Structure 1
Amino acid sequence: MLEIFFLKLKNTLINNSRIFIVVLGIAVILSSSWAYEAYTQDVYEEQEELISSYTQHGKYTYTAPVTEKNPLYSKGSRLEMGKPMYFFAASPTLEVSLAYNLNATDSAFLRVECETVVVATSEENSGGSQEIIWKKEFPVEEMGYANIGNKDVLIHDFSVNVSEIRSKVIGIQDQLKYSSDTTIEIVTHVNYKGEINGEEINNTTDFALPLVINPAYYKMPEKLEFNENNYTYEKIIVKKEPSVSSIKLPLSLFLLSTILVGALIPCTKMNNVDPELIRRLKKEEKYSSVKEFVSKGKVPDNWSSLIQVEIYSLHDLVDAAVDMNERVVNDIESGVYFIIHDNILYVFLDVPSKESEDEN
């Protein structure tokens, strides 16, 4: 079947090769023109360009003065940072310092105001998320201000009576008759207003320091340093550099058309496959299921004196031969299949139809 298909395809290519070459030649010209146009055409895109940036830096330091008599520390001494816990019985008060500075890419002239509060928040798990039940702020340090420039450091000092904060939180829980986990944070609001990198700025940044408070002691977090980056972008239109990816389709079409033209040129000098060969191959394929019942031979000279019975298909003739215990004989020159039984000639004339000839 494949052999016949390829032979027919070969004849089609040979008969129409010049037409195909002309069509593909036009495709070569159009695709090359398309590729050139796509590669040389100016293409623009929108991009974001960083025009200014600044970084705010905040770092907490603290000490816990020993103000109460206790069996561990001398009264009047100071407990430095890094201890696993601080006992209310020895150091109920925490002295904290926040060092704040702003680093701009160009310049900064700011009025900075700092205000510190302790924020107690009671939350409860609801549907897989935390829901705030109540929230309370306790003022610690009133707002103070200073003028700073680029990279100048502002020191903001304050003290927190942690024992007093704990008592206030317990008092709220007792009055509400509702006890739940409560988180406590020291939050410093840094309000800065002025000019950064030539632009007017008025903004606020919060630096939060969480506390872990237990009945007998409190803990300070390990992370005491914070950075916040601020970027200002401007949208600009830029010209894109030519890219091979922009001509993938026309270039592929150009290469494919060129290859096909090169493959078709030899077809213009080839001869067609003999239609008789194709017809014979089709015939062999058609009768392949009964070929074991057919022998090659020649119609006898006295065939006209025999009684003739015409059979309309080779398969019917083979069935008759099997019933009569005879073999089918094929006269290749005349295309006749026949059997002779009791002086009767059973014949099938394998004459190709007009449609079959046209198909070949």
Structure 2
Amino acid sequence: MSTSARIKRELAIYGGILGAALVLAGLLAIGGAGYVYANPPVEDLPPEEYDVQEFGVTVSHSATVTGETPLYAAGETIENKPVYFTNSTPELDLTVETSVPEGRDVEITHRLVVVHQGTFNDAQVWERRETLLAEETVVSDGTHQSTASVDVPDLVEEVNGYENAMAGVGSVSTEIRLETTYVSDAEGGGTYEGTLSGTVPFELGNDAYWLDGDLSASATESQTRRRGTRQLPPDMTTVYGGLGAGIVLILLGAGLIAWNVRGQDVHELEMEVIRSKYDEWISTGEFPADSDKQYIYITTLEDLVDVAIDTNKRVIYDPDLETYSVVDDDLIYYHAADPTQIDSWVGLSGGQG
């Protein structure tokens, strides 16, 4: 069956409706493109950060040389050294330095603690805490310092006692822990509250000691507020795509409507579809005109092909008369778009069977 013939027939029947639908779809596409262009997207601006306050705490360390040593001068104060020697600097000073926003009263508390722990197979067996510094104060000028001292020989003796008590089972460790809390007024009547904390190992030997790392912490507090929105440029890809698609659809629809308006012979197209379907049963020839034969009109070409199949005959198509016929002895079965024209041509007016 000819696909093109079937398509032409369907277009002849439904072409007007389809063309109108295409034109409507094209107008909608153009309208959508216009809407996208006239209504570009809007996005929220990133929130604005304000009333930013910085809080920080750090622990520095120093020792004054009180014992004889060729390494330092007597009475000299050494600061933030990677290692100190017990015989020449037996006392370690730990200074807690706090920085808070200036011009505001900030409540701070400090707790600086020495922590001893006994562990076995990475599990804690016991713990002892010794407070070096416990302080509550209000800072108004942005900075504050507090100092605590550690008698290292006494601390070493204490640790040795813990190790002897554990009898070589597991291990003993010592560390310095700092915990600082702050409370500060925030803009708009709120408050900022937080905790700064840190831990550093305190390595103790009979001859030397050191802090294995830095002990410090910091935090930033702030508030945020919306900044509104901003308009983005329209998506021109969508705009141009909608315009292009709309124009194409309108042209297709208008062309289909114009083709349909010119008038398409639906019956002729249907005949073409049927002819292509039964082409193997149809041959081109002349329509037989003989008044001695009986002519029988068949309503459809499909029914005429059925007659040919039943009688084992072929369908003869006369292109001049646009008539199909099947000759079976004295019977002539035929189908034509205008059967009255055939009756007149063969002189059979009123003589059909």
Q: Specify the TM-score bucket, using the shorter chain as the normaliser.
A: 0.5 to 0.7
For residue 59 of structure 1, what is the aligned residue in structure 2?
58
What is the CA RMSD across the aligned residues, in angstroms? 5.9
CA distance in structure 2 between the partners assigned to 1:62 and 1:111 by the alignment: 24
- Is the CA contact 2:57–2:96 (under 8 Å) kept in the aligned structure 1? yes
1:8 partner SS:
helix
The alpha-carbon deviation at position 191 of structure 1 amounts to 3.7
Q: 1:9 to 1:269 in 2, by over 3 A?
A: closer
Q: Which of 156, 159, 164 matches 1:163?
A: 156
Secondary structure of the structure 1 residue equivalent to 2:49? strand
Quick one: which amino acid aligns to residue 143 of structure 1?
Answer: E
Partners of 1:69 and 1:58 in 2: how far apart? 34
Deviation at 1:141, TM superposition (A): 2.2
CA distance in 1, matches of 2:158, 2:190: 38
| Residue 10 (structure 2) pairs with residue 8 (structure 1) | yes
TM-score (norm 1): 0.57
The question of whether the paired residues in 1 share the 8 Å contact of 2:198 and 2:217 is answered with: no
The question of whether the paired residues in 2 share the 8 Å contact of 1:295 and 1:327 is answered with yes
Return the letter of the residue paired with 1:97.
T
Q: 1:119 to 1:22 in 2, by over 3 A?
A: same
Paired residue type of 1:98: V
1:96 aligns with 2:84: no
Question: Distance between the aligned counterparts of 1:265 and 1:99, measured in 2?
Answer: 84
2:288 alignment partner, SS class: coil
Residue type at the aligned position of 1:100: T
Distance 2:44 2:149 in 1: 55
CA distance in 1: counterparts of 2:242 and 2:88, whole angstroms: 85
CA offset at residue 265 of structure 1?
4.8
Separation (CA, whole Å) in 1 of partners of 2:26 and 2:281: 50
Corresponding residue for residue 297 of structure 1:
285
Amino acid aligned to 1:140: L
Output aligned runs, 1:319-334, within 5 Å. 321=312, 329-332=316-319, 333=321
Tell me, in whole angstroms, the C-alpha distance in 1 between the residues paired with 2:17 and 2:184: 85
CA distance in 2, matches of 1:230, 1:204: 9
Give the direction of change, closer, same or farther, for the CA distance of 1:149–1:81 in structure 2 (3 Å limit): closer
TM-score for the superposition, normalised by structure 2:
0.58
Deviation at 1:230, TM superposition (A): 1.2
- d(CA) in 2 for partners of 1:31 and 1:57? 56
Letter in 1 for 2:145: I
Change (3 A) 1:253 1:230: same
Asked whether the 8 Å contact 2:287–2:323 carries over to 1, the reply is no
Amino acid at match of 2:97: A
Cα–Cα, structure 1 residues 334 and 281, in superposed 2: closer, same or farther, change >3 Å?
Answer: closer
In structure 2, what is the Cα distance between the partners aligned to 1:316 and 1:135? 111
- Please report how far the alpha carbon of residue 118 of structure 1 lies from its aligned counterpart in structure 2 after TM superposition: 2.9
Q: CA offset at residue 54 of structure 1?
A: 0.9
Q: Closer, same or farther in 2 for the Cα pair 1:203/1:301, shift >3 Å?
A: closer
Q: CA deviation at 1:297?
A: 1.7
Describe the shift of the 1:212–1:8 C-alpha distance in structure 2 as closer, same or farther (beyond 3 A).
Answer: farther
Between the two proteins, what is the percent identity of the paired residues?
12
Residue 12 to residue 204, structure 1, CA distance change in 2 (3 Å): closer
Give the whole-Å Cα distance in 2 for the aligned partners of 1:124 and 1:10. Answer: 94
Contact 1:35 1:251 in 2 (8 A): no
Equivalent-residue separation in structure 1 for 2:310 and 2:125 (angstroms): 96
Unmatched runs of 5 consecutive residues or more in structure 2? 339-353
Structure 1 residues 199 and 297, CA gap change in structure 2 (3 angstroms): same
Quote the residue 1:286 is aligned against: 277
Contact 2:29–2:245 at 8 Å: present in 1 too?
Answer: no
The number of residues matched between the two structures is 323
Aligned equivalents of 1:318, 1:182: Cα separation in 2? 109
CA distance in 1, matches of 2:212, 2:247: 72
8 Å contact kept, 1:39–1:242: yes
Task: Give 1:13 deviation, angstroms.
Answer: 4.5
Shift of 1:56: 1.5
Alignment partners' CA distance in 2, 1:246 and 1:262: 25
Distance 2:36 2:17 in 1: 30
Residue in 2 aligned with 1:205? Answer: 195
Larger radius of gyration: 2
Correspondence 1:95-244 to 2 at 5 A = 95-103=93-101, 107-119=103-115, 137-143=129-135, 145=137, 147-150=139-142, 152=143, 154-160=144-150, 161=152, 163=156, 166=159, 174=166, 185-193=175-183, 195=185, 201=191, 203-211=193-201, 220-233=211-224, 235-236=225-226, 239-243=228-232
Once the two structures are superposed, the pairs formed by residues 254-273 of structure 1 within 5 Å of their partners are 260-261=249-250, 264-265=253-254, 269-270=258-259, 271-272=261-262
**Secondary structure in structure 2 of the residue aligned to 1:108:** coil
Structure 1 residue ranges without an equivalent (≥5):
353-360
CA pair 56-189 structure 1, distance change in 2 beyond 3 A: same
